[in-house]
Amino acid sequence: MLLKTTRGLTHWLLNPLSPVPPMNNTALSFLDDGQSITSVVSALHNYFKNSYSSAKVKRSELLSQLESATGAEEAALLEELQQTAELLTMFGALSDSLSIADRILHSHAVIKAMGMDSELYQPHIETEDEIERDRALAQSRHKPAL
């Protein structure tokens, strides 16, 4: 379930054409059953940190391939290196930002100020309406082609 929410939030972060969530919506309905805001922040931080590491490995592999490439292959590798560099920049910024948020949310000062009973730390319990909405959305996405 955590992965589903993480992917949804990741899609929203990475897709500039996605509709922006309304600013007056403070409901925690984006959380899956048993998740808290802090658990989602931690999961997103780990996701982008791991994505950054994977992109660094890919960059190293591309640089190794570039040493022996010529002509069209070299041009394609340079294009892929450019795309990987852009991903590194984005994943690095997101990982760094979420790392800060993760550390702040888990700091003793914030926990003390907010209290452990704050909605930041409490697991979300899905309502029947949320479960039904998720089920309907999943079914609509998996309709067989005619």
Enclosing domain of residue 57: 45-115
pLDDT tens-place string over residues 7-48: 455 554 555 555 555 556 566 666 777 788 888 899 999 999
Specify the 3-state DSSP secondary structure of 76. helix
In a domain, 77, yes or no: yes
In a domain, 144, yes or no: no
pLDDT tens-place string over residues 115-137: 777 777 777 777 788 778 877 87
Specify the 3-state DSSP secondary structure of 29. coil
For position 1, what pLDDT does the model report? 37
In a domain, 10, yes or no: no
In a domain, 32, yes or no: no
- DSSP label at 118? S
Q: Are 33 and 41 in contact (CB under 8 A)?
A: no
- DSSP label at 31? S
Which CA distances in Å does 100 have to 17, 96, 119, 123, 126?
26, 6, 19, 21, 28
Instruction: Quote the number of domains for the chain.
Output: 1
In a domain, 31, yes or no: no
In a domain, 13, yes or no: no
Considering only residues 142 and 20, tell me which one the structure prediction assigns the higher pLDDT: 142
User: What's the rounded mean pLDDT across residues 75-91?
Assistant: 95
Considering only residues 113 and 12, tell me which one the structure prediction assigns the higher pLDDT: 113
In a domain, 139, yes or no: no
Summary mean pLDDT of the chain: 80
For position 4, what pLDDT does the model report? 45
In a domain, 9, yes or no: no
pTM > 0.85: yes or no = no
Considering only residues 87 and 33, tell me which one the structure prediction assigns the higher pLDDT: 87
pLDDT tens-place string over residues 44-76: 999 999 999 999 999 999 999 999 998 999 999
For position 3, what pLDDT does the model report? 42
Q: CA 76, CA 52: separation in Å to the nearest integer?
A: 22
